[in-house]
Amino acid sequence: GVKSVVRGVGHYLPKNVVTNHDLEKKVDTTHEWIVQRTGIEQRHIAGEDEQTSDLALGAAKNALAAAGMDASEIDLIVLATTTPDRTFPATAALVQEKLGITQGSAFDIQAVCSGFVYAVATADSYMKNGLGTKALVIGAETFSRLLDWEDRTTCVLFGDGAGAMVLEAVPDDTEGDRGVLSNCLRSNGEHWEKLYVDGGPSLTQSVGFVRMEGKEVFRHAVGMISDVVEGAFEKANIEPSELDWFVPHQANKRIIDGAGKKLKIPADKVIVTVDKHANTSAASVPMALSIGVADGRIKQGDLVMLEAMGGGFTWGASLVRW
């Protein structure tokens, strides 16, 4: 059989940085409130002429460069987003076109903030079944397009960006135990009204705005995250104490701290970017991975746990030997 090994990661952020102090000028909020409740200090916001596919392309190019690979080698693109450029085609197909390639397959995944973990699990499963040999797995969002700037309980929490990972299928008796070791995915649609967008093509023929019961999301988050992380360790038959890096979805510092505490993961093994990026939905995990690799923390051979939870609810975790 084959397994999927990480060859490189990269990210791309729009240039425009909006600080909490900037937000104080247009929303009834304060820097102190936002930092205390969420850990967020700033976010990047895409310009009007920048679409999700543009951010995704930037991240994809950086990941390909890190992998030392050319786009012509890619035969699978799985892109997680909640903010596609258009209702269709899939943003993955637009990225394929922008990369100048026509081979293989490309499609989007919609699992909101859990999208990147779902995309890793999907690409991994596809390659194990012969549907691709070199994959670009992307999480990309222009989440700011879904924000109601009149609603201070949501608009301060999110940002835009993209992250990408190159996975390669290799015989599973090569490269030691490197690769995606296990994936654990869950959803429960009973919770959809706690976090949703109030528009869509079928419902309103428009995009709509994010609506959220923040306290309810918070109440469920830590338990759901812990379940899938423990599930991923169990499936891989690996002890949590062996973990080198915990790379959680970056929604809120208090949720990250709560999950780390419940899972007994020391704070110095947790990659945190929510202070600089805010919640970028499907882009947050691959951007955090890219930053952890770029600054030398995540190295080849390390055991890395990716985790996310979001709208649906959906939640999931992937354990990777880097």
Is position 155 annotated as part of the catalytic site?
A: no
Is position 11 annotated as part of the catalytic site?
A: no
107 binds ligand ACO, rule: CB under 6 A: no
Query: How many helices and strands, by DSSP H and E, does the chain display?
Result: 10, 13
Rule CB under 6 A: which of 11-30 touch ligand ACO?
29
Is position 249 annotated as part of the catalytic site?
A: yes
CB-nearer residue toward ligand ACO: 31 or 98: 31
Complete edge-to-edge strand list for the sheet that includes strand 314-321 = 179-187, 314-321, 303-310, 245-248
Question: Nearest distance from residue 111's CB to ligand ACO, in Å?
Answer: 11
Q: What sections of 3-90 are H helices per DSSP?
A: 20-24, 31-38, 52-67
Closest CA to 81 of 116, 45, 122, 47: 116
Complete edge-to-edge strand list for the sheet that includes strand 134-141 = 2-12, 161-171, 134-141, 76-80, 105-109
Question: Nearest distance from residue 130's CB to ligand ACO, in Å?
Answer: 34
Closest CA to 142 of 210, 195, 221: 210
Tell me, by CB under 6 A, how many residues bind ligand ACO: 22
> Is residue 175 a contact partner of residue 319, using CB atoms and an 8 Å limit?
no
Instruction: Kindly name the residue from 113, 155, 183, 277 that is annotated as catalytic.
Output: 113
* From candidates 37, 128, 186, 253, binder to ligand ACO by CB under 6 A: 37
314 binds ligand ACO, rule: CB under 6 A: no
152 binds ligand ACO, rule: CB under 6 A: yes
31 binds ligand ACO, rule: CB under 6 A: no
Read off φ and ψ for residue 54, nearest 5 degrees: -70, -45
Question: Nearest distance from residue 224's CB to ligand ACO, in Å?
Answer: 9
CB-nearer residue toward ligand ACO: 39 or 179: 39
157 binds ligand ACO, rule: CB under 6 A: yes
Question: Nearest distance from residue 64's CB to ligand ACO, in Å?
Answer: 28
Give the HSE-up count for residue 55: Cα atoms under 13 Å, Cβ half-sphere. 38
Closest CA to 117 of 44, 210, 184: 184
256 binds ligand ACO, rule: CB under 6 A: no
Looking at the annotation, which residues are catalytic?
Answer: 113, 249, 279
The residue ranges that bind ligand ACO (CB under 6 A) are: 29, 33, 37-38, 113, 152-153, 156-157, 195, 212, 214-215, 217-218, 221, 249, 251-252, 279, 309-310
